[in-house]
Amino acid sequence: MPLDSDLWFRRYHNGPDAEIGLVCFPHAGGAANFYLPMSTALSTTTQVLSVQYPGRQDRHTEPLIDDIHRLADEVFEAFRPLADRRWAFFGHSMGATVAFEVARRLDDAGIPPVMLFASGRRAPSSHREERVHLLDDRGVISELKALSGTDTRVFDNPELVELILPLVRSDYRAIETYRPRSSVPLSCPIVTLVGDTDPLATRQEAEAWEQHTTGKFELHTYSGGHFYINDHRPKVIEVVSSALAAHTNGDFNGNQRVDSH
């Protein structure tokens, strides 16, 4: 990989040179290693890359990016040298929106991804007014606890809290101030996954992703909240694996609504 791609993408396993690879985009406050279990599970069939945003883990000294469009621009530029092969995108929460915007840029450049998996995020056209990024530290921490996506032991360590709060606030500012700039749908299929009690994405808001593709569409609903993915990881990985295999074989069905409990 070129140097810039090394900076932005983590490869935890040397997967096979399969026809389609998978690029994973983390949630707000998340890092590339959130997708280590997915990379492990798919390591014998699929090359998995995970995006590392600035300001976290090995990039902790770099300035944070609090604008989705600027973040997508930078990921897009880093990804271009890798676009000589076929890739699908998977994003959870904020990551789904970043993945969508990078896919938009690739579509405009004539090199679209083969599929977008949008997890735990309402469609770009389903706007809500949210202001978590404007809350005080206690308010932000309360939001994180409510979503159950952060190890609660973190909140007992003042030094860790001090480290993660600027990162989380920046990511929340990015996603809460995001507005799509184009209503033109993507050309690739979209597979949406959502928890049935997710406070940040209702089933109706998840279904609205269908408006953002001229290709096929699937919706998978799971029991659980915003981080349903932690409780249903094997099922989610199976959805991804099956969809990629079907697309490779030319028989991806799409246009389905599936409830998984």
* Residues catalogued as catalytic: 93, 226
Q: How far apart are CA 109 and CA 112, in angstroms?
A: 8
What's the rounded Cα separation, in Å, for the pair 138 and 127?
A: 25
Question: Per-residue b/e over 124-134, b at no fewer than 16 CB within 10 Å?
Answer: bebeeeeebbe
Give the torsion sign (CA, 150, 152, 160, 169): positive
Sequence-distant (6+) residues with CB within 8 A of 243 are 88, 115, 117, 191, 218, 252
Angle of CA points 167, 173, 178, to nearest 5°: 135
Helix, strand, coil fractions of the chain, as percent rounded to 5: 45, 15, 40
